[in-house]
Amino acid sequence: MKDLKYLAAFSIPLVAFISLYFKGAFVFLTPVYAFILIPIFELIFTVDPKNLSSEEHNARLKRKVFDWLLYLNLPIVYVLIGFGIYQITQQPLATYEIVGIVISVGIVLGVNGINVAHELGHRHTTNERFLGKALLLPALYMHFFIEHNYGHHLHAATAEDPATARYNQTVYGFWFTSVFRQYVNAWSIQKTLLKNSGRPFLSLKNDMFWYSILQLVYLAMCFLFFGKMALIFVISAAIVGILLLETVNYIEHYGLLRLKTKSGRYERVQEMHSWNSNHVIGRIVLYELTRHSDHHFKSTKKYQILDCHDESPQMPFGYPTSMVLAMVPPIWFKIMNKRVPRQMLLN
């Protein structure tokens, strides 16, 4: 039964479905659940820093249920988008209801879309990577696959990484720098990958071209089949999902920097270069993303076997709670700045 605890990750799309179905004041049930109720639950439930034994580790790797719990997010995300389009285009709604529906679907795109795509994007099998890219499509963030795998994991906790927030940088400023620089980086990385494989930039193997085409086709189909309101809805929901992702990026590496060696090169990524959280609720609903230090230490490690390292800087709250705190920069700085290792501030 312990393996099924990750079913709790489906509580967010379930609440979103309830929001869309009942409408009215219920449309804001999803953000209330995600950013008020879950943080309260995190304060109630204890922190669990325990790691798996070697026997449990091997047993979990053999159980396919952990993979299927990820795969199930694909139909859930697309069905919810379809339901959102139906409600927006076929039902008379007040402006506040439209806003609530956009936010609700956007949260699902961030948590059950991009977050799960991130996990699948690190898998070795082509099918799983395909599912990951399919989950990035409605968030209009398919370039994340290239930039994250070939950029962020190489440059994390350095000034060269757009997804690493600087010390004293606000989350609002980070949204702009991270979104823009990641997109530009993705094209640069794609160009390098093609060059290294002896292919020209104008090539059928240029994935960034395909990502752009697929996203444009997705938007065009929404407009042609469902109209202008549907187009505005899917773009707006994608923006919410993107900002949710970037807020997570913000808290994952805030203020942490790798030091340079005598040769001028950065030290290799270690457990101390990501913020870790062992708050059980956040761990479950985000598929162990909060054990981010171990993920960077070995990026191909599946979510169900990620460990906690004593060397990792620990967040005083879970990721959902920390995302809320990041929205109020003075509070965030007061809590987090004193926890950033001093030697990193001198780098």
Cβ neighbours of residue 195 closer than 8 Å, sequence gap 6 or more: none
Nearest-angstrom CA–CA distance, 28 and 5: 25
Q: What is the pLDDT of residues 72-92, one digit of tens each?
A: 999 999 999 999 999 999 989
Name which of 221, 197, 193 is nearest 207 in CA terms: 193
Q: How many structural domains is the chain composed of?
A: 1
Residue 162: C-alpha distances to residues 11, 200, 268 (Å): 31, 26, 18
Does pLDDT of 48 surpass 80? yes
Instruction: Tell me the residue range of the domain where 182 lies.
Output: 2-345
| Local confidence band at 1 (pLDDT 50, 70, 90 cut-offs) | low
Q: What is the pLDDT of residues 163-189, one digit of tens each?
A: 999 999 999 999 999 999 999 999 999
For position 49, what pLDDT does the model report?
87
Q: What is the pLDDT of residues 306-343, one digit of tens each?
A: 999 888 999 999 999 999 999 999 999 999 999 999 88
Q: At what angle do helices 95-108 and 228-253 cross, to 10 degrees?
A: 50
Q: What is the pLDDT of residues 11-38, one digit of tens each?
A: 999 999 999 999 999 999 999 999 999 9
Does pLDDT of 347 surpass 70? no
At residue 119's C-alpha, the angle toward residues 286 and 306, to 5°, is 70
* CB-based contact 38:104 (threshold 8 Å): no
Q: What is the pLDDT of residues 204-247, one digit of tens each?
A: 999 999 999 999 999 999 999 999 999 999 999 999 999 999 99
